[in-house]
Amino acid sequence: MSALTLINLENVSKDYTMGEVEVNALSDLSLEIEKGKFVVLIGPSGTGKSTLLNLISAIDTPSNGRILIEGVDITFLTRKQRAQFRRHKIGFIFQFFNLIPTLTAVENVEFGLALVGVTDSSGNISYSTKDIHSTAMDWLDKVGLAHRARHFPSQMSGGEQQRVAIARALAKNPPIIIADEPTGNLDFRTGIKILKLMKELNKETQKTFVIATHNSQLAKIADFVISLQMGGVETYEQIPHDDLDNLIW
């Protein structure tokens, strides 16, 4: 494991039991992801992409093998410890945005921050309503949505809702941002804009992004690709194709 390794999977398998039937979603998967990478996880539907994201996020636990995040083994954490881990280490972006419908855009971002607080440049944590509000507003501004702060999810387009979800994920300052099919519910143009925003935020914040998609074209925008196929996994580094406007899918 190199000093840059942030996420490390060692011989990880995941089986699901459904009644009498055992489904092997991942088998004997080993890989390392370095800090600050823009990772795209590709593979057809059913190849275990969501399963892998859920394991990295400690939403679920592996059937075999170990998972280390920042050098810490998260494999055997209790349910409570896993919740704590997710709260501080993972920002999750969903296909269907998953905003709270009864809260405005800024309240959705504040809600995510209330439990972790806001850390200033000298490392002090504040839980004050004022600090949480101003951090949430800063993040809405960064995703280009300050003018929608008081709108409810039902009053925003899909692309706008996904921007709020991105602000919510990043505001709490986790080292890892996970996105499961983040453009899956958006039209092509809006999807491109969301990907561009995520790439910009990756460069600016140096957070590690892991994005799952069934669209193999999106592998081109990654600097590290994990390709899950029926026959196994392939990983590779590459110089990303930055011209997203000319990406066709």
Ligand X SMILES: Nc1ncnc2c1ncn2[C@@H]1O[C@H](COP(=O)(O)OP(=O)(O)O)[C@@H](O)[C@H]1O
Task: Point out which residues bind ligand X (CB under 6 A).
Answer: 16, 18, 23, 25, 43, 45-51
Q: By beta-carbon distance, which residue lies closest to Mg ion?
A: 50
> Given the complex with ligand X, which of 54 and 135 has the nearer CB atom?
54
One character per residue 46-65, x = contact with Mg ion (rule: CB under 5 A):
---xx---------------
Q: Are strands 21-34 and 208-213 parallel, antiparallel or unpaired?
A: unpaired
3-state helix, strand, coil in the chain (%, to 5): 35, 30, 35
Residue 47: name its binding partner from Mg ion, ligand X, none (Cβ under 5 to 8 Å by kind): ligand X
Sign of the torsion angle spanned by Cα atoms 213, 58, 34, 113: positive
- Smallest gap from residue 217 Cβ to Mg ion (A): 17
Q: How far is the CB of 52 from ligand X (least distance, A)?
A: 7
- Pick one of ligand X, Mg ion, none as the site partner of residue 78 (Cβ within 5 to 8 A by kind): none
d(CA 124, CA 217): 42
At closest approach, how far in Å is the CB of 180 from Mg ion? 6
Task: Return the number of the residue (49 or 89) whose C-beta is nearest Mg ion.
Answer: 49
Whole-angstrom distance, CA of residue 30 vs CA of residue 11: 5
Nearer to ligand X, 18 or 248 (CB): 18
What is the C-alpha separation between 172 and 161, in angstroms, rounded?
Answer: 18
Closer of 82 and 196 to ligand X (Cβ)? 82
- Do 176 and 89 contact (CB within 8 A), yes or no? yes
In this complex, which beta carbon is closest to Mg ion, that of residue 95 or of residue 205?
Answer: 95
Q: How far is the CB of 33 from ligand X (least distance, A)?
A: 17
Q: Please list every residue from 20 through 49 that binds Mg ion, using CB under 5 A.
A: 49
| Residue 161 contacts which entry, Mg ion, ligand X, none (Cβ below 5-8 A, type-dependent) | none
Contact of residue 162 among Mg ion, ligand X, none (CB under 5-8 Å per partner type) = none
Q: How many CB atoms lie within 10 A of CB 59?
A: 16
Taking the C-alpha atoms of residue 154 and residue 109, their distance in angstroms, rounded to an integer, is: 16
Residue 202 backbone dihedrals phi, psi, to 5 degrees: -65, -45
Residue where the block lists tokens 């607080």: 117
> Smallest gap, in angstroms, from Cβ of residue 76 to ligand X?
20
Residue 29 or 177: the one with the smaller Cβ distance to ligand X is 29
Both structure tokens of 110: 């504040």
Helical residues (DSSP H) of 143-225, grouped into ranges: 158-171, 188-205
Residues interacting with Mg ion, by CB under 5 A? Answer: 49-50
